[in-house]
Amino acid sequence: MVGPAVKREAVAHLRARLGLSERRACQIVGADRKMIRYRSARPPETRLRQRLRDLANERRRFGYRRLFVLLRREGEPSGINRIYRLYREEGLTVRKRRARRKAVGTRAPILVEARPNARWSLDFVHDQLASGRRFRILNVVDDVTRECLAAIPDTSISGRRVARELAALIERRGKPGMIVSDNGTELTSNAILTFVTAQGIEWHYIAPGKPMQNGFVESFNGRMRDELLNETMFRNMPHARAVIRAWAADYNEERPHSALGYQTPKAFAERLITATDTRAAPSESSARMPVAPPAPIGVSTRRALVPDG
């Protein structure tokens, strides 16, 4: 028993069940009588507690740090220590998922210019409808701004479909400097090879069996799995498309991202664009930064480097 609240409960239990005096109960527990008699003068903070519970129920996989950022956006002046105390007292701690094994070994960073569209990553994630029918989602992520550029669910997504979706995305957003993916059959098909040649885009395939080399989209897949797919029962494909579209918009525009200093990906991208437009003098932090997951020893990184200029 190390906390004052626990010791108060122990003293109360000894006095109620065994009829001991307060002095004797405090000696057994090892507590000071002044501490046992102390009553907190803190205000109940009912409104803040209720808002914190509402946000935690709305975003069940958010921890206290992201909830603190959301409260700050609403004008809440409380510091993070108070929010953490209320978060613990309300029993809102997020249940931790089983940790995955981490890769070991020396790694070399892959450098990418700190600007939007410097590099995209794409991958598939799978789920199923309420009827049991399985479907897949094509996720495309900007590695620098962490934006979800596309989250396309369907029961079947071929290489031709991937090429069409990428062409539409390029027409809307611009051509990326590089695209990174694994070696799935859809992404190594003739349709993709023809698309890459026609668009003049450098396409980098990670080493087989090394998903950590495509870490940005893998991390995004994990967030989608944890915050959306594991929390939602999809009735049918139209329902899945609507829910995933809304979640992707919220991910880009509302969800604080810890790797971006708890900014939203959209706000971070706008800041980078503004810095580029004003032609500010490049600094060590903004000119080039390692935004890609390092590659294990023995994996060539030449194709994944962006040329200077």
Tokens of 98: 């089983």
Pairing label, strands 120-128, 178-181: parallel
C-alpha distance from residue 222 to each of 20, 156, 225, 226, 228 (Å): 54, 21, 5, 6, 10
Size of the chain, expressed as the number of residues it contains: 309
So what's the pLDDT on residue 42?
83
- Higher-confidence residue: 42 or 12? 12
pLDDT digits (tens, 9 = 90+) for 166-212: 999 999 999 999 999 999 999 999 999 999 999 999 999 999 888 88
Give the chain's mean pLDDT. Answer: 85
Alpha-carbon separation of residue 237 from 98, 131, 243 (angstroms)? 29, 11, 10
Q: Name the pairing type of β-strands 107-108 and 178-181.
A: unpaired
DSSP 3-state assignment of 149? strand
Model confidence pLDDT, tens digit, residues 243-282: 999 999 999 999 999 989 999 999 999 998 888 776 544 4
Average pLDDT of span 85-100: 82
Q: Would you say residue 307 has pLDDT above 70?
A: no
Q: Give the per-residue pLDDT at 278.
A: 66
Q: Phi and psi at residue 126, in whole multiples of 5°?
A: -115, 150
Distances (CA, A) of 229 to 128, 151, 296: 9, 13, 31
| Phi, psi dihedrals of residue 116, rounded to the nearest 5° | -60, 150
Judged against a pLDDT cut of 90, whether residue 160 lies above it is answered with yes
Statement: residue 304 has pLDDT above 80: no
Both tokens assigned to 166: 């990428």
**Percentage above 90 pLDDT, the chain:** 71
User: Is residue 16 scored above 90 in pLDDT?
Assistant: yes
What pLDDT is attached to residue 273? 86
Please report where in the chains the tokens 């989608």 appear, as a residue.
224
DSSP letter string, 238-253: HHHHHHHHHHHHHHHH
Cβ atoms of 111 and 290 within 8 Å: the answer is yes
pTM of the shown model: 0.74
**Average confidence (pLDDT) over 131-143:** 95
* Mean pLDDT value of segment 81-108: 74
Provide the pLDDT for residue 165: 95
Instruction: Say whether pLDDT at 164 is over 70.
Output: yes
Strands 120-128 and 202-205: unpaired
Instruction: Specify the pLDDT at position 101.
Output: 57
- 228: tokens are 């959306």
Burial class (CB in 10 A: 0-12, 13-18, 19+), 47: exposed
